[in-house]
Structure 1
Amino acid sequence: MDVLHNLNTLYKFSIHKDFSEFCRVQPLLHIYEVSKFLLKFKCFNHGHGNLKTLERFYRQPIESVLHHVVPLDWKKSLAKEMVYQRITEAWQEIMKEAINENTKQKDRLTYGQIGRVVVMILGTDNVKDDLFLQVMTRFEDNKHWKDFIQSLRFYSAHETVRDYKVTFEMHPTCKLYQALRYTWSVNWIKDVDYISPSCFMYLVEQLLLLTSCLRGRLIYATKSSFTEWLICQNKFPLSDLSFKRDTRDVLDFIANFLREFVNDQNDFKTWIKKSKLDVDNYFPSLFLRSVVSMCLLHLSTGSREYLEILRSLLKNSYMTTQLPLEFRNVLQKGKKRMGFQVIAKAFKVIGNPLVIVKLQNSSSEIMCSDAVFVDLTTCKKRELVFETLFPSIVDSAGGETKTKASESKC
């Protein structure tokens, strides 16, 4: 028991001293492993007090893990060590337990629970079929989200779907769009436990990236959103990115959501409060993420309509003052053209570089020093793509010193 108390002290110390996300997660993983072992080990005769303490330690990492999947600051999710941690067996195990915790009750699941489960599934590598089936069973009362999980299960089971007659309506992108659209239509003010704005924004960001995948030859994404997509890559195989479809309805939904978020700030602050989140911390982060998504929406489509939404925002001094100063200045100086060079520079100053992904051989390579270029026509293995996103810089002594974004070396 002393080991668990010491690990918990170390965890609290890592938070107090603002250690890296990776350093914070390590004590949690050890707390989970030790407490699970002690609870299952029959040789120990646990008294009532010790049993309660063990159960509390066991639940602590399970209840905390979602905050490390969707951290408030995306710089934390971009730490190389944290990215690789999330594809380990230990991480997969604790995520599975967290999903179990959110789905084990017999009552109808709330939108908050559904949102947490979906985010954890998308943020977990190599989800097993039995877990998909378990979640689908618990989502029985919510057809749209059940259909989305079912589509993920199908794509996870087949490395490529070329031998199957798959329509857009069967694709996870369409299912996620339908589920989000339906969830957004719910009266969240009256809902007891509605999906949190951080979870909803995470899912919208993933929907935008998936839609970009289906549209053409290039993907425009942030480093954080593309990394998230890579982590759940077995659900959206790199070998199956040539599936084309008119996605105007999906894009309009994303645009309308983002526009509402930046225009109806009081409602969204109420939503944040209702989700028991700190408005002062969460709103600036979510506001910035919404503007970043607007930029990506413009780049991915080249639509003048979406560009005008972004320009309209940049003309509003009240809204722009809520953005980081340097980020705002870059966008305002380049708002007449608003090409990928301008947006890449803006993303770079907030520490979340623009990633330009080449999907087809016919796509031209784009040169931009402020962006990361990934060529999926030659770099098909996820491990190689990770190395492109997080290349190691080796010092003269041969030791790894730090990582940074760079052009693809695949």
Structure 2
Amino acid sequence: SSCNDMVARNQISPQTLAYAWNHWKSIIIKVLSHLHHTDGPELNDYEVLYEELCCKYFGLRKDGEDGRYVVLNMNSSWLSNAGRNSLQQDGNRCWLDVLQCHSCAQSFLMNELSSVGLSVLKKLETIVQIYPNPASSYALVRTTLIIKEIANFLEEPEFSMPKSTMKLRSFSALCERRFFELVFLVWRDGATRSLLRILDSPASYCLIADSLGANLRPRNKNLTYGHLGRTTVLLLHAARLDDALISRLLQYLDNDSDWAKFFRHLKRFLDTGVDRSYLIKNFRTALNSTFYDVTWRNELDYISPICYVGLMECLGFLASSYLLQKGCIYGTKSLLLNMLDCRTSKVYLDSCLVSNSSPDPDLEEMTFLSGRFIFDTIMSILRNKNTLRDWVQKTSTPSCSYTAVLLRLVVTLYPLILTHDGLGNCYEATNILLKHGVFKDLPVEFSQKIVRVLQLQMRSRTRGNFRRALADAVAAIGDRMVVMGPPKDIASFQNINADMISTEDLGDVQKVMAILRPEEASSVKEEAALLEKSDGKKNIPKAVPANKVESTSEIDLSDENTPFWDKFGAFQANKEGQERCKGYYPIP
């Protein structure tokens, strides 16, 4: 628990360890580069710096202009057997020619780079395997990406060591497994931190690409439906689909399949911003075929209900965004925050908010058909609760409950009906859900407020009364109803427990965040004000006193490397006249 809390609060462990590794690694790489390129006529200032550093660290002294070094300790661990055999001795003095000396030093540093890198990976491995909770999952994903970045570096041809190949592969496999487990905890729980900070990492993109070939259906070697869902969620969020990734993706799909068509149109939309109606159409048909044309019980890895609902929510938001030109659309605070964090939906929304955009009959039709598909699918699922329970049990993690999926389906259903004319009637839908026992499985505070509307007399069963009841029910479970539309339309809403967001504000994420999360918006302003008063030094890492660190050994890469740090620190102090600060560790 204390380890969970420490990682969740982002105090030091993984990030500071990575900071120390990256700093140390950069020095080693520069020294190696110097050792590779020392045959020029004269050394520049940086080369002189690293030449002196090498001499201090390895215990060498240049022997005039004779192209050799005096070795101060012939028993030094960095000397290979070949190096010792090449030593020239004159009394108590030993010499080694420059080429042999540099060869020994390079070999030693390459081994050190591999050894220290593996020791860092082992420390991070123990952290990333702790059981996550909502507070720590974000930090654990970041730690997973750190492991992947270090493993990728150590696998690069110029730095790889044959003896560590298998171990590095095991670290990469761990990263792939934990990344998808953890990133969907962050996505599912609606963490306040943006998922994009994770997905923008090159390591994330690498993990997504590498995972494709490892999640195939045995019969036809196509991607499993489960991994199709997971990959789609992440690609929609990141809005990154370059030629290499889509080529690899299509390699594991039938060329004329609904999912292949969707990914092609997604790439076209992300690249050009055109063909919105085709994007909506193919997204709908891909989800439709996945739900209605596949026997999920026969699949080893089928899409989980929470992932499928999330994709339906995204389709619904994309489709309904077009309706903002005509009037209001409805949603929840959690949905809107998620969609604003999803780059694809944000770009799509912005295209719908352009004031001079002309009517699009095809898009209007696709919008309604998508709404109809989502409505019919949700009602089909809610009429078969036992099937949903089995679906959750077969495809979901233990932390994803049947009740959570059921609630999300219902909370998606009602705003959809309110948004799309002609889909259905909220009161009739409530009667159907009551008949099938849906409300008894939902939180009482939510169910009571919804079911109560059925007690209204027929003449009081208006859309306005249901909107107010729904807004109160959503608020009772810790969320908020959101109404989005033109200023003149949202101005007509009164006495409703909901957030009103005009189309003018929707294009400004900061304004929307100020409405949905006023407490965070004020804290961001305070932080910005403090930064303005901090002498302009905005990028200087924070320092944490050593007595605040639970275990300083977390950043000591190994005892063998401490002398290098000490000598390098002393060397910098001599060169720059600075004293090394003891007991403080910078946090990146």
* TM-score (norm: length of structure 1): 0.80
Partner of 1:408: none
AA matched with 1:380: G
Pairing 1:28–2:139 present: no
Q: What's 1:214 paired with?
A: 322
What residue is the counterpart of 2:271 in the other structure? 157
Considering only CA atoms, is the larger Rg found in Structure 1 or Structure 2? Answer: 2
Q: CA deviation at 1:292?
A: 0.7
Match of 2:122 in 1: 5
8 A contact 1:14–1:24 mirrored in 2: no
What is the match of residue 281 of structure 2?
A: 174
Q: Is the 8 A contact 1:197 1:271 kept in 2?
A: yes
Residue 98 of structure 1: aligned partner? 208
In structure 2, relative to structure 1, the CA distance for the partners of 1:212 and 1:52 (3 Å cut) is same
CA contact (8 A) 1:326 1:349 kept: yes
**Offset of 1:7 from its aligned partner?**
2.0
Equivalent residue for 1:376, pick from 503, 507, 510: 503
Say which of 274, 277, 297 aligns to 2:394.
274
Q: CA RMSD in A?
A: 3.4
Q: Does structure 1 residue 265 correspond to structure 2 residue 385?
A: yes
Letter in 1 for 2:479: N
Using the alignment, how far apart are the partners of 2:230 and 2:147 within structure 1? 22
Normalising by structure 2, we get a TM-score of 0.58
Q: CA deviation at 1:357?
A: 2.4
Query: 1:227 aligned to 2:349?
Result: no
97 and 332 in structure 1: CA distance in 2 versus 1, 3 angstrom threshold:
same
Which AA in structure 1 matches 2:284? Y
**Superimposed CA distance per residue, residues 28-82 of structure 1 (whole angstroms, 9 cap, x where no aligned partner):** 22222222222226335252xx4333222223233233344543984x3241x24
Q: In the alignment, is the contact (CA less than 8 A) between 2:194 and 2:341 conserved in 1?
A: no
Native 8 Å contact 2:138 2:182 kept in 1: no
Cα distance change, pair 59–376 in 1 and its aligned pair in 2 (3 A): farther
Cross-structure match for 1:403: none
Counterpart of 1:204 in structure 2 is 312
Structure 1 residue 97: deviation in Å?
Answer: 2.3
Task: Give the distance between the partners of 1:31 and 1:21, measured in 2 at CA.
Answer: 15
Report Cα offsets for 1:314-348 as digits up to 9, x if no partner.
53484212111212222223455553332222222
Q: 1:39 to 1:10 in 2, by over 3 A?
A: same
Partner-residue secondary structure (3-state), 2:329: strand
Check the 8 A contact 2:137/2:186 in 1, yes or no. no
Specify whether residues 64 and 10 from structure 1 end up closer, same or farther in structure 2 by C-alpha distance, changes over 3 A only.
closer
Aligned to 1:251: 371
How far apart, in 2, do the equivalents of 1:350 and 1:383 lie? 25
Is the contact between residue 330 and residue 345 of structure 1 (CA under 8 Å) also seen in structure 2? yes
Deviation (angstroms), 1:389: 4.0
Aligned residues of 1:69 and 1:77 also touching (Cα < 8 A): no
Cα distance in 1 between the residues matched to 2:510 and 2:250: 30
SS at match of 1:237: helix
2:479 pairs with 1:352: yes
Structure 1 range deviating more: 373-382 or 346-355:
373-382
Map of 1:364 onto structure 2: 490
1:321 corresponding residue in structure 2: 440
Pairing 1:85–2:197 present: yes
Structure 1 stretch displaced more, 216-225 or 380-389: 380-389
- Secondary structure, aligned partner of 2:350: coil
CA–CA distance in 2 between the matches of 1:250 and 1:304?
11
AA partner of residue 4 (structure 1):
L
Task: Give the Å deviation of 1:234.
Answer: 4.2
Q: Please say if residues 222 and 354 of structure 1, whose CA atoms lie closer than 8 Å, have aligned partners that are also in contact.
A: yes
Give the direction of change, closer, same or farther, for the CA distance of 1:352–1:125 in structure 2 (3 Å limit): farther
The change in CA–CA distance for 1:204 and 1:175 in structure 2 (over 3 A counts) is same
- Counterpart residue number, 1:62: 176
* Structure 2 residue aligned with 1:113: 227
Does residue 42 (structure 1) correspond to residue 150 (structure 2)? The answer is no
C-alpha contact 1:221 1:356 (8 A) present in aligned 2: yes
Shift of 1:144: 0.9
**Deviations 1:232-258, CA, capped at 9 Å, x for gaps:** 334643332165513443333212221
SS at 1:37 equivalent: helix
Counterpart for residue 431 of structure 2: 312
CA distance 1:10–1:190, change in 2 (3 Å): closer
Instruction: Provide closer, same or farther for how the CA distance between residues 330 and 156 of structure 1 changes in structure 2, counting only shifts above 3 A.
Output: same
Are the equivalent residues in 1 in contact too, given 2:124–2:143 (CA < 8 A)? yes
Runs of 5+ unmatched residues, structure 2 = 1-117, 529-588
1:293 to 2:412 alignment: yes
The corresponding residue for 2:258 is 144
- Contact 1:35–1:58 (CA<8 Å) still a contact in 2? yes
The alpha carbon displacement at 1:288 in A equals 0.8
The SS at the match of 2:441 is: coil
Are the aligned partners of 1:110 and 1:194 in contact in 2 as well (CA < 8 Å)? yes
8 Å Cα contact 2:141/2:198 also seen in 1:
no
Q: What is the alpha-carbon distance in structure 2 between the residues aligned to residue 68 and residue 20 of structure 1?
A: 10
On the 8 A contact 1:62/1:95 being kept in 2, the answer is no
Matched residues in 2 for 1:68 and 1:374: separation? 32
Q: Within the alignment, does 1:238 sit opposite 2:345 as a pair?
A: no
**Following TM superposition, by how much is the alpha carbon of 1:287 offset from its aligned partner in structure 2, in angstroms?**
0.7
Whether the 8 Å contact between 1:78 and 1:224 is mirrored in structure 2 is no
Gaps of 5+ in 1: 401-410
Conserved in 2, the CA contact under 8 Å of 1:124 and 1:231? no
**Counterpart amino acid of residue 239 in structure 1:** D
CA distance in 2, matches of 1:370, 1:350: 13
How far has the Cα of 1:290 moved from its partner? 0.9
Q: Check the 8 A contact 1:31/1:57 in 2, yes or no.
A: yes
Percent same amino acid among aligned pairs?
21
The answer (yes or no) to whether the contact 1:70–1:198 under 8 Å persists in 2 is no
Structure 2: how far apart are the matches of 1:24 and 1:57? 15
Alignment partners' CA distance in 1, 2:171 and 2:494? 50
